Amino acid sequence: MSKRLFYYLVINIIVSAVTVWAVLSIWERAHTPDETATPQPISRLPTALASAQPLMDTPAPQISPTPLVNKATPTQNQSSADGIPQATVAWPLPPESPQIKITTIVGIGDLATERLQIQSISPEAISLENWRLETSTGEVYTFPKITLFEYGAVDLYSRTGINSVVALYWGHSAPVFHRGDRVVIYDTEGEVQAVYSIP
């Protein structure tokens, strides 16, 4: 029995030694760097100084001078591009056969008394409904429903008030008429019925 035990111990020692040697060999291989691996080349970016082109090599852009253009708008004293004089805007002329006339404008500049007087010069009754009065300053008045009987007259006041058969009120809070203004009255067909220049 002692001889068998001796052999058993010897075999156990040999197996243990082989096992330890195998484990150490495997560990050494796993932790040893691979000297055969090919090192990867490290690319280097060119420096800004090397890659930058000299500014003097780039030609400066050529700027062509812009020709001056005369943008003046022709006026009454100028001619158009084709040499034809510009036409001036003319006010309408009085009608050949008027039905009414503007007799006068009084109280100019005084809102309390400023008024325009219209008189019929027709032997027949004339309806002024939707007729239009315009001034050279752009003021516009549209007549309400009112009839001028033969040779009758009506006053148009600039201020506010209550309309009647002999007086109409424009409803302004300031005077309307000025020296040098022109006043035109149109009928419903757009025909001129009266023209008046304020002296």
Residue 19 predicted with pLDDT over 80: yes
Read off the pLDDT of residues 43-71 as tens digits, 9 standing for 90 and up: 454 444 444 444 445 555 555 544 443 33
Residue 126 phi/psi, 5-degree rounding, is: -125, 125
> Is the pTM above the cut of 0.85?
no
Token pair for 105: 């404008």
Residue 72 predicted with pLDDT over 80: no
Read off the pLDDT of residues 75-90 as tens digits, 9 standing for 90 and up: 334 444 445 444 445 6
CATH of region 100-197, choose from 2.60.20.30, 3.30.70.260, 2.40.260.10, 2.60.40.1260: 2.60.40.1260
Quick one: average pLDDT of 131-155?
96
Residue 159 predicted with pLDDT over 90: yes
- Output the pLDDT for position 62: 59
- Output the pLDDT for position 51: 45
> What is the DSSP code string of the chain?
-HHHHHHHHHHHHHHHHHHHHHHHHHHHHHHS--TTSPPPP---PPPHHHHPPPGGGSPPPP-PPPPP---PPP-TTSB-TTSPBPPPP-PPPPPSS-SEEEEEEESTT-TTT-EEEEEE-SSS-EE-TT-EEEETTS-EEE--S-EE-TT-EEEEESS-----SSEEE---SS----TT-EEEEE-TTS-EEEEEE--
Quick one: average pLDDT of 85-98?
65
Q: Please state which of the ranges 65-69, 105-109, 135-139 shows the lowest mean pLDDT.
A: 65-69
User: Could you give the percent of the chain with pLDDT greater than 70?
Assistant: 67
List the chain domain ranges. Answer: 1-29, 100-197
d(CA 90, CA 50): 77
41 — pLDDT class (breaks 50, 70, 90): low
